[in-house]
Amino acid sequence: MLEDSLTLYKLMVLHMLSRVTFPLTTAQISSFMLDQEYTDYLTLQQIFSELDDAGMIRRSTVHNRTLLHLTEEGRSTLQYFGSRISDATKADIDLFLRENEVTLRNEVSVQADYYKATSGEYEARLLAKERGINLIELTLSVPTKEIAAAVCDHWQSRNQEIYKYIVQQLF
């Protein structure tokens, strides 16, 4: 019975990834699976690892976030075995993705990180993407770690208006 549950959870992760046009983070998928009480955290980590080992997903790390990408192997597996996911579960997944699409997309499309540069200053690296294309990438040098952290925090909430302002000034 446990193996059947693990297979179902794997198919659910593959289904989630197949329903979006951008990668999802492990935290985003975990949020859904744990909030809906489908499984527990440790089992979910095992599922991510087994899907990666089997080549059904590809992991990438960007600024301390693990992004999950559906591979062709995963898409093919879902085509063959996706019918094992109940219609009610698919509806739960689709509702979650529909209600949270903007937030989910922004979480992986807007990135901000900072680090200490060799000059002793801190650099805040800011990035906004759309459909895998970098719209804007900025690196700002600031004197302290606190300022760098604040710049990154503000980028998360104000990136669209900053991008719009820069474009208006340059065109």
The CATH class for the domain spanning 109-170 reads alpha beta
Average pLDDT over residues 132-160: 88
Mean pLDDT over 108-114 rounds to 81
Domain 2-108 identical in fold to domain 109-170: no
Task: Compute the average pLDDT of residues 27-32.
Answer: 93
| Residue 1 pLDDT class (50, 70, 90 cuts) | very low
Distance CA 25, CA 104 (A): 9
In the chain, where are the structural domains located?
Answer: 2-108, 109-170
Query: Is residue 163 pLDDT above 90, yes or no?
Result: no
**What CATH code would you report for 2-108?**
1.10.10.10
Q: How confident is the model at residue 109 (pLDDT cuts 50, 70, 90)?
A: confident
Average pLDDT over residues 36-64: 90
What band does 130 get if pLDDT is binned at 50, 70 and 90? Answer: confident
Bridge partners, 65 (sequence order): 62
pLDDT band of residue 62 (cuts 50, 70, 90) is: low
- Of 50, 56, 59, 74, residue with least CA distance to 26: 59
Range 16-53 burial, b when 16+ CB lie within 10 A, else e: bbebeebbbbbebbbebbeeeebbeeeebeebbeebbe
Q: Which residue has the higher pLDDT, 148 or 132?
A: 148
